[in-house]
Amino acid sequence: MTKRVYEYLLEAEEQSPDVVALEFMGQQIPFKTVAHNARVMAGGLKAQGLQAGEAIGLMLPNIPQFADVLYGAWFDDLVVVPMNVLLTGPEVRYLVEDSSIKLLVVFEMFLPAVEEAIRDMDAPPKVVVIGNAGAHIPYPRLLEAQPVEPVRNAGDAHVLTIYTSGTTGKPKGAVISNENVVTQMDMTDDLFPQVEGDRTLCVLPLFHVFALNGVLCSSFRHQGTIVLHPRFDLEAAVNSLSQDRVTIFAGVPTMYFYILQHTADTDVQFPHLRVCFSGGAAMPLETMNAFEGRFGVEIYEGYGLTETTVSICCNRPEARRPGSVGKPLPGVELQTVDDAGNPTPIGKPGEIIVRSGNVMQGYLNRPDATAETIKDGWLYTGDIGHIDEDGFVFIVDRKKDMIIKGGYNIYPREIEEVLHTLEGVVEAAVVGVDDDAKGEQVRAVISTRPGSELKEEEIEQYLSANLAKYKLPNEYVFMAELPKGPTGKILKRELR
């Protein structure tokens, strides 16, 4: 029987009770404390009336309470919905309604978006606030409960719903099971064995699969220490890498780029760092080579999707090819196929499809989207790549129009749909343009009605009210008419 993810925390409590699980802004929190906090939180959530199988939302930055609530919810057999802290009110509302969230745990800074989201809901979720709670439930109230032991039901469990988007523009909730998470950790264990005393710097947001499953859950499983930062602050990250005995660092390419820039013309070194991982976007070879040469540590680039729990490919010490995303992880079947679904020859690009135990169960409430994405057990990623004669996978392009800016996935159609609701806009297209620092930036190309005096400032203000900040275009281009092909489809390639 597959272990439950939370059992690794209980093992750490028993075997390494005094080992520091989380180091956060001067606090050193051992495993025995995290496990106790999770039991108390489980009791607090039960006291709020939550039943097994119901969903709670987390709108939290990287703080220790994230782990307390996450594992406490899993002790109660609840589904956790990690939410991007930059979401606006309308975006929060969509997730609350789609996942039938019964309770939200929110950091006070993000409460305005939550209050906007639930303002006129017929049956709003309960809201627990870390900080000034106002009319809502203060977080300490949950800590008044008696600790409870975990619920262990038979069979697999739906443990996470993590939202992603597609060409439809509306977010889709990837249903991640307990077995998905455990299988993912099993896949990477033999390739990257952690050693006693490992300390992983976590600056990636815990609401993202890379940090949540790839860093937090994995480090707890191996009874290592996470040096947790509230967010990626460049100077703080460099100081931590140089002074906090960090041995493992996971980041997106933009972070490596900025670290290199910040340490140029200095004698800063990272004396304990032994391994680095990169994902979320393509790593420029120039950045990889410069970082490795500067700090004497290899970066292992990988590839994965929200729908695959974390990753499906990764370079590794004994099989590394810079420019590739490595070979498939153990247990992952991967092919490239043409539009008819036929395998493509070695070296010829095709859509990447995968079959493995870390592939999601499907999209929540979206049977049609699930059927389009998972066919005969194969997940169609929507990414174009090729496999070389040695089995290394190379990402060539994205079949979908997704933009990756600083590791954040941005879906043009979502922005376009908002633009089209703005009075005066006739046509709108959003494309990604190359950027050395962020990987890509967002360009919005707009056609307005004759006589319209719509200004860039008005558009930006309108988008800011409806979209998270990281999705906002960096550049606005106005055209009388957008270029189109013979079928009337906008030719985005001419707008980049």
CATH number at residue 488: 3.30.300.30
Give the residue-averaged pLDDT of 365-390. Answer: 95
Position 246 in a domain? yes
Q: Is the dihedral of CA 441, 286, 199, 311 positive or negative?
A: positive
Same domain, 242 and 193: yes
pLDDT score recorded for residue 165: 58
Q: Are 235 and 203 in contact (CB under 8 A)?
A: no
Same domain, 441 and 341: no
Same domain, 97 and 149: yes
> Phi/psi at 179 (nearest 5 deg)?
-65, -35
CATH value at residue 102: 3.40.50.980
Q: Quick one: what percent of the chain has pLDDT higher than 90?
A: 79
Cα 135–Cα 76–Cα 308 angle in degrees, nearest 5:
100
Query: What is the per-residue pLDDT across 169-218, written as a single tens digit (0 to 9) for each?
Result: 689 999 999 999 999 999 998 889 888 899 999 999 999 999 999 999 99
Query: What is the per-residue pLDDT across 463-488, written as a single tens digit (0 to 9) for each?
Result: 999 999 999 999 999 999 888 754 34
53-57, 268-272, 422-426: which has the minimum mean pLDDT? 422-426
Last residue in a domain, options 155, 178, 212: 155
Same domain, 440 and 390: no
Please report which confidence band the pLDDT of residue 281 belongs to, taking 50, 70 and 90 as the band edges: confident
Last residue in a domain, options 356, 380, 398: 398
What the block records as the tokens of 122 is 């017929």
- The total number of structural domains that make up the chain: 3
pLDDT score recorded for residue 155: 83
Q: Which domain holds residue 96?
A: 5-10+24-155
Q: Are 298 and 264 in contact (CB under 8 A)?
A: no
Same domain, 197 and 337: yes
Pick 213 or 168 by higher pLDDT. Answer: 213
pLDDT score recorded for residue 449: 84
Position 174 in a domain? no
Same domain, 390 and 446: no
Last residue in a domain, options 341, 363, 398: 398
Same domain, 345 and 205: yes
Give the residue-averaged pLDDT of 156-179. Answer: 86
Query: What is the per-residue pLDDT across 411-445, written as a single tens digit (0 to 9) for each?
Result: 787 898 899 889 888 889 999 999 989 999 999 99
Which pTM value belongs to this model? Answer: 0.86
Whose structure tokens read 């469990």? 157
Position 166 in a domain? no
Same domain, 302 and 379: yes
pLDDT score recorded for residue 190: 80
pLDDT score recorded for residue 167: 43
Give the residue-averaged pLDDT of 117-127. Answer: 96
3-state SS string for the chain: CCCCHHHHHHHHHHHCCCCEEEEECCEEEEHHHHHHHHHHHHHHHHHCCCCCCCEEEEECCCCHHHHHHHHHHHHCCCEEEECCCCCCHHHHHHHHHHHCEEEEEEEHHHHHHHHHHHCCCCCCCEEEEECCCCCCEEHHHHCCCCCCCCCCCCCCCEEEEEEECCCCCCCEEEEEEHHHHHHHHHHHHCCCCCCCCCEEEECCCCCCHHHHHHHHHHHHHCCCEEEECCCCCHHHHHHHHHHCCCCEEEECHHHHHHHHHHHCCCCCCCCCCCEEEECCCCCCHHHHHHHHHHHCCCEEEEECCHHHCCCCEECECCECCECECCEECCCCEEEEECCCCCECCCCCCEEEEEECCCCCCEECCCHHHHHHHEECCEEEEEEEEEECCCCCEEEEEECCCCEEECCEEECHHHHHHHHCCCCCEEEEEEEEEEECCCEEEEEEEEEECCCCCCCHHHHHHHHHCCCCHHHCCCEEEECCCCCECCCCCECHHHCC
Please report which confidence band the pLDDT of residue 489 belongs to, taking 50, 70 and 90 as the band edges: low
pLDDT score recorded for residue 197: 93
Rounded Cα–Cα distance for residues 410 and 119 (Å): 27
Same domain, 414 and 469: yes
Same domain, 249 and 376: yes
pLDDT score recorded for residue 487: 39
pLDDT score recorded for residue 166: 46
